[in-house]
Amino acid sequence: MKYLSRPEELILLTVWKLKDEAYGVQIRKYVQKMTGKYWSIGSIYVPLDRLENKGFLESEKGEATSERGGKSKRYYRITQEGLDQLEALQEIHKKFWQDLPDASFKKS
């Protein structure tokens, strides 16, 4: 099994969630919304490249648009191997979280 870094895992989940709208800017917006943290554009594209190299994502360029100055968007989609990886990670997370005390305690 190829383990993922936490940013890779979050980005892979985001691509799966966004489906046909999974391109750089949208991925970044969603990850920032969900984490409440600022993510630089590089902190999105570096993991996207790694995930594609690992076979967990595929990408293709969309058509160029005038609103983007003639540039095209690169759309990402999760592969079956990526889905299998997320399923395996979910099982690992369940094992680690199993039998832990309740973490919803209040600090004084």
Q: Considering the entire predicted model, what is its pTM?
A: 0.85
Give the count of beta carbons closer than 10 Å to the beta carbon of residue 64.
12
- What is the per-residue pLDDT across 11-64, written as a single tens digit (0 to 9) for each? 999 999 999 999 999 999 999 999 999 999 999 999 999 999 999 999 999 876
CB 56 within 8 A of CB 39: no
In the chain, where are the structural domains located? 6-63+71-94
Query: Which residues, in sequence order, are bridge partners of residue 33?
Result: none
CATH code linked to domain 6-63+71-94: 1.10.10.10
